[in-house]
Amino acid sequence: GQNIDQPTEMTATEGAIVQINCTYQTSGFNGLFWYQQHAGEAPTFLSYNVLDGLEEKGRFSSFLSRSKGYSYLLLKELQMKDSASYLCAAMDSNYQLIWGAGTKLIIKP
Amino acid sequence: GAVVSQHPSWVICKSGTSVKIECRSLDFQATTMFWYRQFPKQSLMLMATSNEGSKATYEQGVEKDKFLINHASLTLSTLTVTSAHPEDSSFYICSARDRSDYEQYFGPGTRLTVT
């Protein structure tokens, strides 16, 4: 079966760094997406990885290891506005997104 | 960037009535559109996938006669919740993808409350 695992909730301090992990099992693989979703709003795109390695985009970076079925989202210099749910989604061989349940990130001052 | 709109943003309807939600891609041709439902504090649940000009493919457990999806053009898909019940109250989100892009662009969502 297809499955995405990510922690349910994480807490971090403003200004710090947090890493949100995601493991996936899919029928075929066409890339790994990370989305941010604030409460009551639709998801917004953060990153897309299809090759192994680290992609850096400002304060956010995303890493992928295809052999391990593993990705992480790294958030640096945390700000209060980063409090949100972070959704990991893997694209399978049919180009369908398989969604994780999301990680609720709580930022404390 | 690619923009997807949804209308209405929120709607309150009485039990037994039908509600239509529109999803439009404003600056690109959406060959595929997706409809999701999200209950409070839960992740996105894919309801159906629709390709322009063809019938929607529904996920297991989603009643196709209750959730009618039409994708008649490359810029518009509609979801009609027929004979709505309070348990259909949820956040409905559409997303769209064009032929040349793997990324799904999300609409802002529609909050449906059935009383």
**Tens digit of each residue's pLDDT, chain A (109 residues):** 789 999 999 999 999 999 999 999 999 999 999 999 998 888 999 999 999 999 999 999 999 999 999 999 999 999 999 999 999 999 998 888 899 999 999 999 9
Interface test with B, best of A5, A22, A92, A97 (most B CBs within 10 A): A97
pLDDT at B111 over 90: yes
Contact B104 A96 (CB under 8 A): no
The sign of the dihedral angle between the CA atoms of A107, B4, B7, B13 is negative
DSSP B42: S
Using the Cα atoms of residue B106, residue B110, residue B111 and residue B113 in order, give the sign of their dihedral: negative
Residue B32, both tokens:
């595929």
On the 0-12 / 13-18 / 19+ scale of CB atoms within 10 A, B4 is buried
User: Distance from first CA to last CA of chain A, Å, rounded?
Assistant: 40
CA distance A41 to chain B (A): 6
CA distance B18 to B20: 7
Q: Search chain A and give the residue with CA nearest B90.
A: A40
Backbone angles phi, psi at A77, to 5 degrees: 45, 55
pLDDT tens, position by position, B19-78: 999 999 999 888 899 999 998 878 889 999 998 888 899 999 999 999 999 988 889 999
A101 close to A8: Cβ distance less than 8 angstroms: yes
Query: By C-alpha distance, which of A36, A63, A61, A35 is closest to A51?
Result: A63
* A31 to chain B, closest Cα gap in Å: 9
